[in-house]
Homo-oligomer: A and B are copies of this chain.
Amino acid sequence: MELKDLLGGKGANLAEMMSVLKLPVPHGFTITTDACRDYMHSGWPKSLDKEIALHVKSLESKMRRGLGDATDPLLVSVRSGAKFSMPGMMDTVLNLGLNDKSVKGLATSTNNERFAYDSYRRFISMYGRIVLGIDGLKFEHALEAAKAKCNAKTDADIPADALKDLCEQFKTTVAVETGKPFPQDPAKQLRGAVEAVFRSWNGPRAIAYRVREKISHDLGTAVNVQAMVFGNRDDNCGTGVGFTRNAATGVNKPYGDFLVNAQGEDVVAGIRNTEDLDAMKKKFPDLHAELMAIFVRLEKHYKDMCDTEFTIEQGKLWMLQTRVGKRTGAAALKMAVDMTKLSAPKGGWKISKREALMRVTADHLDQVLHPQFANKGKVLAKGLAASPGAAVGKVYFTADDAVDAADRGEAIILVRSETSPEDVHGMMVAKGILTARGGLVSHAAVVARGWGTPAIVGADMVKIEGKTFSVGDITVKEGDIISLDGTTGEVVLGELLLEAAEPPKEFKTILKWADEVRKGKLDVRANADTAEDADKARELGAQGIGLCRTEHMFLAPDRLPVVRRMILANTPAEETKALEELRQVQKEDFAGLLRSMSGLPVTIRLLDPPLHEFLPRVEELEIKKAVSGLNAEEEALLKAAHSWAEFNPMLGTRGVRLGVVKPGLYAMQVRALMEAADQVAAEGYKPVIEVMIPLTVTREEMALARSWVEEVLADINSRPAPKTKKGAKRVVRPKVTIGTMIETPRAALRADELAEVSDFFSFGTNDLTQMTFGFSRDDIESRMMPAYLEAGLLKRNPFETIDQTGVGELVEIAAKRGRKVKRGMKLGVCGEHGGDPESIGLFYRAGLDYVSCSPYRVPIARLSAAQAVIGGNKSDTK
Contact = CB atoms under 8 A, between A and B. Distances in A.
Given A622-B623, A623-B622, A651 B745 contact: no
A287 interface: no
A729 interface: no
Contacts of A660: 784, 787-788, 791, 793
A369 to B, nearest CB: 31
A809 B744 contact: no
A213 to B, nearest CB: 19
Contacts of A805: 749-750
Given A793-B701, A810-B749, A651 B653 contact: no
Interface string A602-638: 0000000000000000110011001100000000000
Given A647-B779, A649-B648, A745-B771, A806 B661 contact: no
A661 B783 contact: yes
A783 B778 CA distance: 25
Nearest to A783: B653
A794 B780 CA distance: 31
B779 A653 contact: yes
A650 interface: yes
Interface in A763-786: 767, 770-776, 778-780, 783-784
Contacts of A657: 780, 784
Interface of A is mostly: helix
Interface residues of A, number: 54
A651 B619 contact: no
A792 interface: yes
A783 B654 CA distance: 12
Nearest to A648: B776
A695 interface: yes
A698 interface: yes
Contact of A773 (B618, B697, B779, B794): B697
A461 to B, nearest CB: 13
A852 to B, nearest CB: 21
B774 A767 contact: yes
Contacts of A647: 649-650, 776, 778-779
A465 to B, nearest CB: 13
A788 B660 CA distance: 8
Given A774-B767, A805-B749, A651 B650 contact: yes
B806 A750 contact: yes
A753 to B, nearest CB: 8
A437 to B, nearest CB: 9
A746 interface: yes
A700 interface: yes
A156 interface: no
Contact of A653 (B650, B698, B746, B784): B784
Interface string A721-751: 0000000000000000000000111100110
A807 interface: yes
A669 to B, nearest CB: 20
Contacts of A45: none
A390 B534 CA distance: 61
A615 to B, nearest CB: 15
A523 interface: no
Given A701-B793, A776-B650, A793-B704, A661 B744 contact: no
A646 interface: yes
B651 A770 contact: yes
A776 to B, nearest CB: 4
A664 interface: no
B810 A745 contact: yes
A384 to B, nearest CB: 15
Given A622-B619, A746-B806, A648 B778 contact: yes
Contacts of A661: 783-784, 787
Contacts of A780: 651-653, 657
A657 B653 CA distance: 27
Contacts of A626: 623, 626-627
Query: Top 6 A-B pairs ranked by shortest CB distance?
Result: A651-B776, A648-B776, A746-B806, A745-B745, A652-B779, A646-B779
Given A745-B771, A749-B772, 8 more contacts: A622-B623, A623-B626, A648-B649, A652-B776, A652-B780, A657-B780, A697-B806, A750-B805
21 contacts: A626-B626, A647-B649, A647-B650, A648-B648, A648-B650, A650-B776, A651-B771, A653-B780, A660-B788, A695-B774, A697-B775, A697-B806, A700-B794, A701-B793, A704-B791, A704-B793, A743-B774, A744-B772, A745-B771, A746-B773, A746-B806
